[in-house]
Structure 1
């Protein structure tokens, strides 16, 4: 989690109370001394926090009397109550490989009076988009996070302000937002079991991302492990492959996968469960370049069922996610949250997945 200055913690706390209406226009804020005691900080820090709030026009200060919530201030949520615009934040501007979430969202919104606005964090970072959205008059946010533990500071402000927010694809560590996710664990279980059913005994999992930081990837890894456990097989991703091959984040994709393929052959691994289709396809292409043949030299199963997976040679066996359904359900639950803000939080929505058998797994 990113480090936030002490004064900013105080600013965030008081701002959340103002935005939520707990502190109303004209209400007096605690004194510098009271803030210092409450947050265990120096008077200089509490003074800095109040100055920041004053500079943001959230409060005004009267010498000898104290600090007060600005009487001309309209809380962000008050502005949003009449809004019928939903914001979707994605980590990609256009990527048909990751499915048509937008189509599913608009399919649900078509029967409502809400409209959709889409923003990508490819040009403007995720944090800046989240900060801007929190100050905007959008009715709610559908959020596809880049990871499960990034920008937790600003996301917790959404939680404190009871801002309607639903995540897709991943959950946020430690913050109880409603999430709409694929059944990642069962999908990876099915992928691994498909290899097992075809008599593969040495199976490895490969990911480009650190499994600790991404709930979706972590769930897939655990699903793979559960299948191995249920069939009394060893995990060949967590011996020699663990530190060197299970994940990489250094941008040296091709060199990394080449090393991985070589290690797979050296250790006699015959089956691979890949984090996603793009990784599986890259491994297939590199294997071809070095004279290997799929599935004769090793079998591989992807995850996502992107459009390209049915056009590569050989055609990729994979786990299909229903991206449209995820978008539809994310919109449905967000609108329900907006329309009924006092209902208790619901459980996360898990969307079923499907094994698509093609040509990259052979029976041993």
Structure 2
């Protein structure tokens, strides 16, 4: 046998059978004798034969490959989304290619073009915090390529979407703080251009309004990101002012950064300030006090996004523009429970 990549022609030559018989044997076609199928598979395994997916895709007009664009890889929520996508994709004989934009609009544009040129069958995308223009996604629609948005979405492109009810989650978080006796509740969130942050803030305002409570401009903080350093830097003056007795943070890391400032200022959590985060990162259960938070069903979101995408691929003549709304659960821990 020759060195390098082995083809079905090589296997056919060695077994003195036709190329079409080898192809049918590898596909478990019952028209091929069991002994011949076994011989073909044994030889294919011996020489590490792999199908030529480029040739297969040209014949079928499908690559059996799905694209994923996410803002961050080192992120518990997105890790669970990817796991959900992969599990659903692999169970349906699809592979996935993952691109991380690192929250960069420029990287997002480059990645979408690379995936289109790479002949993926469809794309699942969560937009970056910098993204305010969406022409690079319009190309998918113009070419008739299946597209699904999840989590951070845009309304400018008509495509199926999988989202969390962030308004309801924000409302539940603040309602819980009110139920614990908080009357001066602050909000710290991520970039306001993203729907998820606008909706969480709207839920915060709704809960306060229903309870007849007021807020102040200085109690509402929008950060460039949602990380720990942002949490510390953005809440330092808020904590030092000692005006609030409750805080809803749009990410767990923002919440932990704020709690760090509270501890440094001699404030007790939850006795002086009760805190609720968002995302249910594992660090929240290890932190002292353990962090109350709103869950994010990342795995379920990934599964649903992959399902919607493959539905489009399998039914190219149908129009899809469904929005699937998932729900968050309040997980009450030490940071918000008051006696």
Q: TM-score band, normalised by the shorter chain? A: 0.7 to 0.9
Q: Which residue of 2 aligns with 1:170?
A: 152
Q: Verify the 8 A CA contact 2:101 2:128 in the aligned structure 1.
A: no
Out of 57, 70, 74, the residue aligned to residue 94 of structure 1 is 74
Cα pair distance change 1:262/1:162, threshold 3 Å: farther
Out of 229, 243, 260, the residue aligned to residue 238 of structure 2 is 260
Out of 191, 202, 214, the residue aligned to residue 194 of structure 2 is 214
Q: Which moved more, 1:322-331 or 1:246-255?
A: 246-255
Q: Which moved more, 1:84-93 or 1:116-125?
A: 116-125
Confirm or deny that 1:322 pairs with 2:297.
yes
Deviations 1:281-319 (A, max 9, x none): 111122212322211220110010011111100000000
- The alpha-carbon deviation at position 119 of structure 1 amounts to 1.8
- Aligned pairs for 1:216-231 (under 5 A) are 216-231=196-211
Q: Which moved more, 1:83-92 or 1:283-292?
A: 283-292
Q: Verify the 8 A CA contact 1:148 1:214 in the aligned structure 2.
A: no
Q: Which residue of 2 aligns with 1:289?
A: 264
Separation (CA, whole Å) in 1 of partners of 2:307 and 2:270: 42
Q: Verify the 8 A CA contact 1:99 1:306 in the aligned structure 2.
A: no
TM-score by length of 1: 0.71
Which blocks of at least 5 consecutive residues in structure 2 are unaligned? 1-56
Q: Which residue of 2 aligns with 1:30?
A: none
TM-score by length of 2: 0.76
- Aligned pairs for 1:38-187 (under 5 A) are 81-96=61-76, 98-122=78-102, 125-147=107-129, 149-187=131-169
Q: Verify the 8 A CA contact 1:87 1:117 in the aligned structure 2.
A: yes
Separation (CA, whole Å) in 2 of partners of 1:202 and 1:319: 20
Deviations 1:118-138 (A, max 9, x none): 122239811111121222210
Separation (CA, whole Å) in 1 of partners of 2:78 and 2:235: 21
Q: Verify the 8 A CA contact 1:303 1:319 in the aligned structure 2.
A: yes
SS of the equivalent of 1:126 reads helix
Separation (CA, whole Å) in 1 of partners of 2:275 and 2:68: 33
Separation (CA, whole Å) in 2 of partners of 1:360 and 1:310: 10
In the TM superposition, structure 1's runs of 4+ consecutive aligned residues that sit over 4 Å from their partners are: 77-80
Q: Verify the 8 A CA contact 1:87 1:140 in the aligned structure 2.
A: yes
SS of the equivalent of 1:110 reads helix
Separation (CA, whole Å) in 2 of partners of 1:248 and 1:353: 22
Q: Which moved more, 1:315-324 or 1:83-92?
A: 83-92
Aligned residue pairs: how many?
278
Q: Which residue of 2 aligns with 1:358?
A: 333
Separation (CA, whole Å) in 2 of partners of 1:79 and 1:286: 61
SS of the equivalent of 1:180 reads strand
Deviations 1:97-139 (A, max 9, x none): 5441121112212321211121222398111111212222100
Separation (CA, whole Å) in 2 of partners of 1:290 and 1:201: 20
Which blocks of at least 5 consecutive residues in structure 1 are unaligned? 1-76
Q: Which residue of 2 aligns with 1:339?
A: 314
Superposition CA RMSD, Å: 2.4
- The alpha-carbon deviation at position 206 of structure 1 amounts to 1.0
Q: Which residue of 1 aligns with 2:51?
A: none
